[in-house]
Chain A
């Protein structure tokens, strides 16, 4: 499945849900916030949220900032 993840093309090999994508990319789930096509997807919905071809996924973490 072709996705755009953080602005880059990504070929998703897994089952097509968010939980699976995060594992595929090696993200620490507890440290990650996620948005699909501009909408925030809360972590408790990741297991049940299906991805679709050409979805734009943003995965964010906390970094230093003032």
Chain B
């Protein structure tokens, strides 16, 4: 398929669907959804070790999956310093250059702190990470993050976990038009049709968590998102027809049915 390989920095990914691993009812449900989705990049969070909750440790189950790379996130970081620290810790375990940089200090809306994110991105790029920052759908910020060496930008479609879809579509279109790094819609998607829509717009990938984890059947929804992302990408590659303000007939309108009697 044309342009199906996604390059993020020097890394190549065969799937344009990234998956989050939070909120699943069980590790087994998460693993099945990851497999069904065909994803090659999953996010994970760091939490304090607790020997009474050993079943929450995802390192073992995820490391058994072939062809899936880990992208630790910096969730919980309130500022640049904490995000850099979280990233360094994450890399110790992931053995992967990917880091999802997220700094969202307000638990009510979980919207990204653009200033701290920008500062942290500069530091993490220096430290050799492939930085994928979760950001507001702000074309100026996206460009600035590209300029300091981020490997991709990840504007939000809507606030995390809200399922309100591509509410920032117009801004994301501007980001896509100007970007020289992959644009990944992260957060807000609820339906595979929205993922398809993002891909048709020219997004390079989408990151989905809640929509799959909170579905009645997460594995089936993972497969549905896989299909949605692939359809959207194929449509983008195929080139959508232009829109028109007036009707344009698709059948001949010659009036051979009319008579003069």
C-alpha gap A21/B182 in the complex (Å): 43
Q: Chain B interface mostly helix, strand, loop or mixed?
A: mixed
Q: How far is the CA of A62 from the CA of B54 in the complex (A)?
A: 11
Task: Please provide the chain B residues from 81 to 106 with a CB less than 8 Å away from any CB of chain A in the complex.
Answer: 85, 88-90, 92-94
Q: Which residues of chain A have C-beta atoms less than 8 A from B75's C-beta? A: 65-66
Q: How large is the interface on A (under 10, 10 to 19, 20 to 34, 35 or more residues)?
A: 20 to 34
Contact assessment for A66 and B93 in the assembled complex, using a CB-CB cutoff below 8 Å = no
Contact across chains for B85 and A63 when beta carbons are under 8 A apart: no
In the complex, what residue of chain B is closest to A60 when comparing beta carbons?
B46
Name B56's closest neighbour in chain A (CB-CB): A63
A21 to B187, CA, bound (A): 39
B46 touches A62 (CB 8 A): yes
B45→A62 contact, CB < 8 A: yes
Residue contact B90 to A63, C-beta cutoff 8 Å:
no
**Given A6-B48, A28-B54, A60-B89, 17 extra CB contacts under 8 A:** A6-B49, A25-B51, A28-B60, A31-B57, A32-B49, A33-B92, A40-B85, A60-B48, A61-B47, A61-B48, A62-B94, A63-B44, A64-B58, A66-B21, A66-B75, A66-B187, A66-B209
Looking at B22-30, B223-231, B238-246, the stretch in contact with chain A turns out to be B22-30
Question: Contacts A6-B48, A61-B49, A63-B45 given: A35-B73 contact, CB under 8 Å?
Answer: no
**Bound: A66/B30 CA distance, A:** 12
Which residues does chain B contribute within 8 Å of A35, judged by CB atoms? 85, 89
Contact in complex: A59, B49 (CB < 8 Å): yes
User: At the interface, yes or no: B70 with Cβ under 8 Å from chain A?
Assistant: yes
The interface of chain B, by Cβ under 8 A from chain A, is 20-24, 30, 43-51, 54, 56-60, 62, 70, 72-73, 75, 85, 88-90, 92-94, 160, 187, 207, 209-210
- The closest CB in chain B to the CB of A26 belongs to B51
A–B Cβ pairs within 8 angstroms, 7 of them: A28-B57, A31-B60, A42-B92, A63-B44, A63-B45, A64-B20, A65-B44
> Which of A43, A63, A66 is the one whose CB lies under 8 Å from B92?
A43
Give CA–CA (A13, B206) in the complex, Å: 49
Closest to B210 in A: A66
Which 8 residue pairs spanning A and B have beta carbons closest together?
A65-B45, A66-B20, A66-B209, A31-B59, A59-B49, A64-B22, A33-B92, A64-B21
Q: Contacts A6-B49, A27-B51; is A63 near B57 (CB within 8 Å)?
A: yes
In the bound complex, what is the Cα–Cα distance between A34 and B88 (angstroms)? 10
The residues of A that contact B58 with a CB separation of less than 8 Å are: 62-64
A12-49 to B contact mask, C-beta < 8 Å, 1/0: 00000000000001111011111100101011000000
B22 to chain A: which residues have CB within 8 Å?
63-66
Bound CA–CA A59/B46 (angstroms):
10
- The residue on B at minimum CB distance from A58 is B48
Contact B20 A65 (CB under 8 A): yes
Given contacts A63-B56, A64-B23, A65-B43, contact A33 B93 (CB under 8 A): yes
